[in-house]
Amino acid sequence: MKDITYDVRIYKTEVYKGARVTTHTVRWKTAGKSWKRPFRNAAQADTFRGELQAAARKGEAFSLITGEPVSWNRAEKTETSWYDFTVAYVDMKWKRASAGYRRDIARALTAATPAMLESNRGKPSDREIRKALTRWVFNTKDRGSHPSEYGPVIEWLKRNALPVSTLGEAAIVRSVLDTATSKLTGKPAAASTARRNRAILFNALEYAVELKLLNANPIRGLKWQAPKNSHEVNRDCAVNPDQARKLLAAVKAQKRSGPRLVAFFAILYFAGLRPEEAMGLRKANVILPALEWNKETDEWEEPSDAWGELRFRKASPDVGKEWTDEGTQREERQLKHRAEGDSRTVPCPPELVKILRAHMDAFPPTKDGLLFAGVNGGDLPTITYRRAWDRARAAVLTKTEYSSPLGKRIYDLRHACLSTWSPFQPGGAGQRRYGRPGLR
């Protein structure tokens, strides 16, 4: 038979002490071809090596396909690697997952993968590995379109991925979970990131059980304390009403896109919308009060104390075109924390009513009714309004305030809105009229 040999050499077990775990690797050759099998436990490595030696002393034939004694019949038990398993998991989830969740899965598995690599020999840079995994390996749509320079990186990952069965060892599972819920520096990740990554990893290993790659989900047996997540708004981030209006004026003064961005920021501040909700607003979502006829000026005028409403059921988060089926930068989907088709109604105070009416007069909605678009048409780029907001902060705030968390994130305008909805702050009348609207 051409696929067997009796030429076998078994070497001393190699021990590699890494920063997190120690790897014991059994190495042997069959007809000059090298083989290796990593273990996290010295006793397991010694047992496996002893079994190889026993088979060789008995004069058993070794397979050139698996490198193991033919009597073991291991060809039918070929181990599934972490690389192959995670790719299969991503493909299984892809069709029904939202674009944002597809990205979250890729990031979580990328974070966990370093703990499932057996060797550092010939290892590409950490940056190359993360880019290859996140952008192509864990992206069903684009997996085969990676640049040629990333081909060797992906091949190295395939060769050095540990078998999924090694997750039966508690030390390895602990290492994978710790790696997935930590930053690159080794420090704990943000509470929301840690919780999300653990949930994705847990779900992935449930799939491994379903495929019979594992007898049980090993994460179930681990004691893991979820990081505490604060639900309080950081007061240091919230701008006051005077600062908010000065910032809006600073945005308006910017050329070319500034004037068309005022209403976008105003909706976040006065109505508490999320940025992705504001980006998805259309003319039909905005219900403004009727203008009143002023007999003295003989003109239609905005009522001074008239409230409007924003009624919407869609959001357009910026997830990146590599994650959407249509290749668009944004994905239109249901509102956060709501089922498909559920809507939300938000009160629109008089000041915001005036800003929105002026915006629609100066910048008519697009053909499909979108309120906010780029200067040259199309979607309003996220980078455009982020830069505009940063310039406004630099123009209005002191150096100390600018370097602080005060209004640093655009999302902080939504947090600042909460204070205006207090019955003891400006905007309290709107709260009494509509009830406590909340920020959900």
For the stretch 160-187, pLDDT in tens is 999 999 998 888 999 999 999 998 888 8
* 333 in any annotated domain: no
Whether the predicted pLDDT of 329 surpasses 90: no
Q: Are residues 381 and 299 in the same domain?
A: yes
The single residue listed with the structure tokens 């299969």 is 88
Q: Are residues 149 and 217 in the same domain?
A: yes
Q: Which residues lie closer than 8 Å to 295 by C-beta, 6 or more apart? A: none
* 169 in any annotated domain: yes
> For the chain, what is the domain count?
3
Cis peptide before 436 (omega within 30 of 0): no
- Range of weakest confidence among 33-42, 75-84, 148-157, 357-366: 75-84
Q: Are residues 12 and 129 in the same domain?
A: no
Vertex 415: Cα angle to 269 and 348 (nearest 5): 35
- Given 221, 253, 272, the domain boundary residue is 221
The single residue listed with the structure tokens 């988060």 is 317
Q: Are residues 55 and 94 in the same domain?
A: no
The residues facing 174 across adjacent strands are none
Q: Are residues 255 and 373 in the same domain?
A: yes
Q: Are residues 277 and 413 in the same domain?
A: yes
Whether the predicted pLDDT of 239 surpasses 60: yes
d(CA 72, CA 75): 8
When pLDDT is averaged across residues 301-314 and rounded to a whole number, the result is: 85
Pairing of strands 286-287, 308-312: antiparallel
pLDDT of residue 71: 80
Whether the predicted pLDDT of 434 surpasses 60: no
Whether the predicted pLDDT of 299 surpasses 50: yes
pLDDT of residue 73: 60
- Given 56, 77, 98, the domain boundary residue is 77
CB burial string 180-211: b at 16+ within 10 A, e below: bbbeeeeeebeeebbebbbebbbebbbbbeee
435 against 135, higher pLDDT: 135
Whether the predicted pLDDT of 424 surpasses 70: no
The domain that contains 414 carries what CATH number? 1.10.443.10
Q: Are residues 124 and 193 in the same domain?
A: yes
pLDDT of residue 269: 95
430: confidence class by pLDDT, cuts 50, 70, 90: very low
Write down the pTM of the prediction.
0.70
Q: Are residues 354 and 257 in the same domain?
A: yes
Q: What is the pLDDT of residues 52-92, one digit of tens each?
A: 999 999 998 888 877 888 887 644 445 899 999 999 999 99
Q: Are residues 281 and 213 in the same domain?
A: no
The single residue listed with the structure tokens 């009229």 is 433
277 against 294, higher pLDDT: 277
Q: Are residues 71 and 156 in the same domain?
A: no
Q: Are residues 204 and 352 in the same domain?
A: no
In Å, how far from its chain's centre is CA 257?
Answer: 29
When pLDDT is averaged across residues 408-422 and rounded to a whole number, the result is: 83
- Given 12, 46, 77, the domain boundary residue is 77
pLDDT of residue 78: 59
* 27 in any annotated domain: yes
* 440 in any annotated domain: no
Q: What is the pLDDT of residues 361-391, one digit of tens each?
A: 999 999 888 999 888 877 888 999 999 999 9
Give the helix/strand (H/E) hosting 84: helix 82-94
* 329 in any annotated domain: no
* 324 in any annotated domain: no
CB burial string 361-382: b at 16+ within 10 A, e below: eebebeeeebbbbeeeeebbeb
Q: How far is CA 163 from CA 38, 88, 160, 213, 294, in A?
A: 9, 14, 9, 9, 78
Q: Are residues 136 and 96 in the same domain?
A: yes
Amino acid at 111: A
For residues 25 and 38, the answer to whether their CB atoms sit within 8 Å is yes
pLDDT of residue 232: 60
* 439 in any annotated domain: no
* Domain, as residue range, for 207: 82-221
* 314 in any annotated domain: no
pLDDT of residue 2: 60
